[in-house]
């Protein structure tokens, strides 16, 4: 699906946001990465990592 706001070229700000998101994904073993978007721009990347404890 093509959005009227999308363009073929990736801007430097978009590339920086994608790199930040990818770094966050690579760091999380268990948890989530949440991306906050305002006015078609990534404004925040939150990372929550869960630590699992062994049942013993």
- pLDDT of 22 > 70? The answer is yes
Specify the pLDDT at position 1: 47
Q: Which of 44, 51, 38 minimizes the C-alpha distance to 24?
A: 44
How many angstroms separate the Cα of 54 from the Cα of each of 34, 51?
A: 26, 10
- Sorted by sequence, the CB contacts under 8 Å of residue 9 that are 6+ apart come out as none
Question: Could you give the angle at the alpha carbon of 27 between the alpha carbons of 40 and 12, nearest 5°?
Answer: 35
pTM of this prediction? 0.72
Report the mean per-residue pLDDT for the chain.
89
């Amino acid at each position: 699906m093509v959005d009227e706001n999308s363009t073929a070229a990736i801007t430097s700000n978009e590339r920086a946001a994608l790199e930040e998101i990818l770094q966050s994904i690579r760091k999380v073993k268990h948890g989530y990465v949440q991306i906050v978007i305002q006015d078609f721009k990534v404004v925040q990347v939150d990372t929550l990592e869960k630590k699992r404890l062994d049942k013993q």
